[in-house]
Structures are given as C-alpha cells and as structure tokens.
Amino acid sequence: MRTHKILTSLAALAVAATAVIVPLAVSSSAATAPLLGSYNGAANPAGGVAFATETGTTPSIYSDYLDGTSWGSMVGSSGSPSWVISRLKGQLGSQRLLLSVPLVHAGYSSDQAALAAYAANPATWDANFTTLARNLVADGFSNAIIRLMWEPDAGIYSSDDLTSAANYAALWRDAHSAMAAVSGSNFQWAWYWGANFDATTNNTAYPGSAYVDYITFDDYDQSWDTSCGVPYNGSNFTQAQHQCLWKDDQDKGLVALTAFAKAQGKPIGIGEWGVIDRSDGHGGGDDPYWVNDFTAWMKANNVAWASYFNFNSGGNSILADYPNSLAAYRADLGGGSTPTTTTTTTQASGTSSPPVTTTTTTTTPKSTTTTTTAPPSGVVVTRVSPNTGPTSGGTTITVTGSGFSGATAVNFGTIAATIKSVSATVITVTAPASGGGTTDVTVTTPAGRSQATVADQFTYVYPLPSITSVSPSAGTSGGGASVTITGNGFTGATRVSFGSAAASFTVNSNTSITATAPAGVAASVVDVSVAGPGGTSAVVAADKFSYGPVITSVNPRSGNHLGGTTVTINGVGFAGASAVSFGGTLVTSGITVNAGGTQITVAAPANAAGTVDITVTVGGVTTQTSTLDQFTYA
C-alpha cells in the first residue's frame, strides 16, 4: 500500500530486548495533539479498535486504501461500491474515513502515461470519480477525507517533469469538482507535499487552495543518510544516531513541510507514520525517541490528524512489536504508563550475612487529571457550506446543525461573523476576514455554545491569482524587458512564468507585479502566469506576451492603392529587418529602422484595393499576423 522511497531520516535507541525505557516527556503546555487513527490492513475496523485499546487512545480517524489496478476495483460501479467500501459500511461508528485514492494503473505503461491519458480525455476520469462519490455518499461516508494520489514523489512523476506535475494538479481539480457536485457530499481533500520535489515542482502540482483542505505527508523512522554512522544492518539506531539524523535531515524536511502548509493557510494531516524495521537495515526499529520527537512536532505544528501505519508492508511497522515505542506512544498520546523502580534492602534477623538488596521494576498507570465539564448544550454544528473562502471574508456561509434557536453569535475562531438569518437548524452568515488557515465555526445560543468538531471547520484560502493586463505585451527574444503585470491575488506570489520559463519578479502589491521577461523564441506568443498560495492563474487573452519581431501598430492604417504612402510600423525586435511585406508584396529596400529596433518607416508598395497584413522579416523570422498589423488600400 505504501512505498519506502521517502527522504526522511530517523533513528532509534539501541536497547536490550528485555529492557523497558522510560519515554521522554513531551513538554509543551500550548501543544495540541492531533486526532488519531490507524491503518491495520484492508477493511479491518476491528484492527483499528484493537490498536486504540493497546495505545490507550480514542480513534477519531479510520484509514484505508482503494485498489487502483482498475477503475472497477477502485470506484466500483453505479450503486455497487468497491470491495473495501462495501466492507466498511456501517462499521466505523463515529470515526471519520481517511481514504487514500491511487492513480488508476490499468492499461497504462506508467503513471506519467496515465496522467497524459487523463489530460487527453478528462471526461472519462470525471465520470469515474462521480461514481466513487455517489457510492461513498450512499454508504455513509459523505464526509470522508480524500487523500488522492499520495506520495507522488515516490514514482508518480519525477521532480523535473513539470508537464506531469501540471496534469496532476489539473486531475486533482477535476476530481474535486466532480465529487463535490454529487448531492450530499461534504468531502475534504488532503494534498501530498513531496519531500523529494523542489519548490517549483510542488507549486506546479498544487491545485490551488480552493481545492485543498489539508497538506498531507508520510513519515517513518528510516534513513539513507550516511553522515551519522548508521550501520544499516537491521539493528536499532542508537540514541546518538537518532539525534544526528533528526537534526540533519528529518527536521529540515519537516520545517519545509510546515512552511509550505503555513503559506497555503492549511493544517497538516499525517496519512502514515510509524517506527519500522526494514530488511535492508534502513529502518530505525524500536525507537521511542523518534516517537517522542515526531509526536512533539505534530503537537506544535498544526497537525489536525495522524494515522499510524500499523501493518507489515515492505517492513514491519506493527507498534506492538516494539515495546519501547509503544510505551512512548501511550505516554505521549494515550493512557500512558511510567515504569518505576523500587529498591529495598533486607537482612535476615540474627545473622551476620550481608544485607540483600532487591530491585523491583513496576509499571503504574499514567497519572490523569479529571475535569468536570458542563453537560452538552444541545447546540451542534454538523456542516459548514461552503467550507472554504477567501481571506478577505464576505463569503455567504450556511451553517447546518441543531439547537440554533435564539442564536446570539456565530464565530469563526474568535472572530464574530455577521448573522443574516436563523432557524432551529440553519444559520446563514457572512464570513469575516481572517488570515489563512482552518478554524472552527461555533454557534452561541442562550442554551450554550457548540463544541468544536471536524465537521464545523472552515478554511480561509488565498485567492487564485488572476491577470488582467501585461504591459508592455511584447519584447525581444533575448529577454530583459521590464513588464508590469496587473491583476489580483498576487500577495505571496512564488513564481512568475513566461510560458514555461521562470522570470525574476517583484510583488509591488496584491494587484501589481514587475517582472523581467526571460529569453524566448523569436516571433512566438506565450502566456504569462503567476503562481502563489492560492494556485496558478488561469490562461486568459490578457496575459499574452509576444517575443519579437512583433508588430504592435501601424500608422496610418490606410493609403492609396497606387502605393507611395509612408507607413510607420511600431513593435519590437526590428533590428536587422531585411524585408517588409504588404499582403505578400515585398519591400526589400528603403526600410529605415530606428536605433532601438522598435520602429520601421517604409513606403507602401502598389497593391489591389482591400485590407492586407503587414509582416516584417528579421534574420529569417517573420512576424505573426494579427489585427494590429492590418493596412487598407483604397
């Protein structure tokens, strides 16, 4: 179900097989533990319950995977769900389904080929995703978290394959739209951040914040780092090795993941994590220190949920097989236990024998604090629709639930919303402005306030960048032109591209960017795009940029058919012009080009009455025709 080509470096504490280590304490009074769950094999809810029991935790998330070998095995058919979904129906109780949906493999030579096939025929793929959504809703999983095409950096495409990355993002948007359109659906979506990808690839693959609810990632105590003296012989890592690896490699990866999620205003979800013993020696084995460090990181970095991979797949991750790691998990996240040692010294009465010292190690339950809380108020939020909106606020939101009569306040986190209408089960509000991120929508009535749940979450997203003009809209093929891009949603922009070429740029404001055009192909037209936290701007007519030679205007626009009219041709890239054509009638002499190569003066040749295109040829390259180059003979 999962791969092991993940660049995370971790380690473990080498211990005697019979010893039990006191787990390190996690000290962070402000830390918040994520919602917990586990994967215990396909369609195995009982395994999830057993895992929660042995770890002393309450399961909130149930994780499972669909089979991507064919469309039928993955989505089923209309009214007939796949095997996994049919086995889970009615079995999860209050747990929320975390569903990993692969890239379908059937009939394709590679994942890249599958992405290309989608790009050529998206309708077929959309229909299958619609079937999946209908089956999930029908079987009671309308609020599933969809983890689509997880671990793309483990083989779906390479870091320099921006075409596949763009297809990946487009497929994601289409799948999201198709499934969201199914009546009764309230899915959330977890997009996978690729640790093996550079920023350009991850940004290209990101579908936009309107299509993503969580940034997800998988992590294990495994490493291929050679700088920390790891033996790679199947033994547990030592404490020193663990500390070296965590600092040198994993910590850096998690810092980058956290920064990316923060930039998108999204919480993090951990789809898979665990200790692992690999046959090739790259696994850390029984490693309570890694459990401590990773748990502390989750609590401190806005991780909403985390599913432990409690299964043997290419390496043993079953937590019960690692007693020290299990103790650390319980201490950090569950009921916990703390080993204590008692030493007693006794001497038999009436004897001169040496005293006998006895050391006894016992395990006592982790201390807990019982807090008495008021009974539930009866005010419950079950759905927020839509559950995303711009950071500027202003979105009309419908809050569904019960006990809303007499509601006095609706808050998005700590910020009050404007209430538009109230009934016992539905409230309509206007979302307030806020920074990016996910927050709980709560309702306050005379009876009390609703409790925060996953169902009440609303995510503020950065807007999708949009371009309304590019000025100047043309430049020489050598690049270097200073171009002002006007539009919206430019705050936090991470990339400006002219076609596929990246440009250096400065964000002047949310509506203006100044960029330096990169070199391009002569006499070509490209789309300028802006990528940012909200995604990449859509292609529009206003974003075109032409590489010279290109004609931007002619003056005058008409003349006598007998010829002789002096015509000024404006544009870029005219230096060295060898010919000017008026509707196919060439002029090769009497061509005057200004010093900047932006203007030509030439006498129009005789021609038949009518409108023709003027073209300019420079170095064997001829300008493309457009309405801007037309000249009318009278």
Mean pLDDT for all residues in the chain: 83
Instruction: Output the CA–CA distances (angstroms, integers) from residue 180 to 144, 186, 385, 560, in the order listed.
Output: 12, 7, 11, 62
Q: Tell me what pLDDT residue 195 has.
A: 86
pLDDT at residue 367 greater than cutoff 90: no
Per-residue pLDDT band for 348 (boundaries 50, 70, 90) equals very low
Neighbours of 531 (CB within 10 A): 22
Q: Tell me what pLDDT residue 230 has.
A: 64
* Helices of type H across 237-285: 239-245, 251-264
- Global pTM? 0.55
Q: What is the largest CA-CA distance in the chain?
A: 139
The more confident residue out of 171 and 368 is: 171
C-alpha closest to that of 485 among 550, 531, 522, 535: 531
When computed from its CA atoms, the radius of gyration of the chain, rounded to whole angstroms, is 32
**pLDDT tens-place string over residues 224-249:** 777 776 654 556 667 777 777 776 55
Q: Tell me what pLDDT residue 48 has.
A: 93
What is the residue-wise DSSP string for 316-376? B--GGG-HHHHHHHHHHHSS-EEEEEEEEEE--TT--SPPEEEEEEEEEEPP------PPP
Neighbours of 255 (CB within 10 A): 12
What is the C-alpha separation between 614 and 585, in angstroms, rounded? 9
Per-residue pLDDT band for 526 (boundaries 50, 70, 90) equals very high
Q: Tell me what pLDDT residue 407 has.
A: 94
**pLDDT tens-place string over residues 103-155:** 876 667 788 888 888 888 888 888 999 999 999 999 999 999 999 998 888 87
The more confident residue out of 39 and 463 is: 39
Average pLDDT over residues 475-482: 90
The more confident residue out of 226 and 444 is: 444
pLDDT at residue 484 greater than cutoff 70: yes
Q: Which of 66-80, 207-221, 366-380, 421-435 has the lowest mean pLDDT?
A: 366-380
Q: Tell me what pLDDT residue 252 has.
A: 62
Q: Tell me what pLDDT residue 532 has.
A: 78
Q: Tell me what pLDDT residue 19 has.
A: 33
pLDDT at residue 358 greater than cutoff 60: no
C-alpha closest to that of 393 among 422, 427, 418: 418
**pLDDT tens-place string over residues 169-203:** 989 999 999 999 999 999 999 999 988 888 888 88
The more confident residue out of 33 and 23 is: 33
* Helices of type H across 11-161: 45-55, 71-75, 83-88, 111-120, 122-138
**pLDDT tens-place string over residues 543-600:** 999 898 999 999 999 999 999 999 999 999 999 999 999 999 999 999 999 998 999 9
Residues belonging to the chain? 634
Per-residue pLDDT band for 215 (boundaries 50, 70, 90) equals very high
Q: Tell me what pLDDT residue 351 has.
A: 45
Q: What is the 3-state secondary structure (H, E, C) of 527-545?
A: EEEEEECCEECCCCHHHEE
Asked whether the beta carbons of 406 and 377 are under 8 A apart, the reply is no
pLDDT at residue 288 greater than cutoff 60: yes
pLDDT at residue 336 greater than cutoff 60: no
Residues whose CB falls within 8 Å of the CB of residue 99, separated by 6 or more in sequence, listed in order: 64, 65, 66, 136, 141, 144, 145, 146, 147
Q: Tell me what pLDDT residue 634 has.
A: 94
pLDDT at residue 10 greater than cutoff 50: no
Q: Tell me what pLDDT residue 538 has.
A: 87
List the domains of the chain with CATH numbers: 35-336 (3.20.20.80), 380-461 (2.60.40.10), 466-547 (2.60.40.10), 550-633 (2.60.40.10)
CA angle at 388 for the pair 385 and 394, rounded to the nearest 5°: 90
Average pLDDT over residues 85-95: 93
Q: Tell me what pLDDT residue 335 has.
A: 66
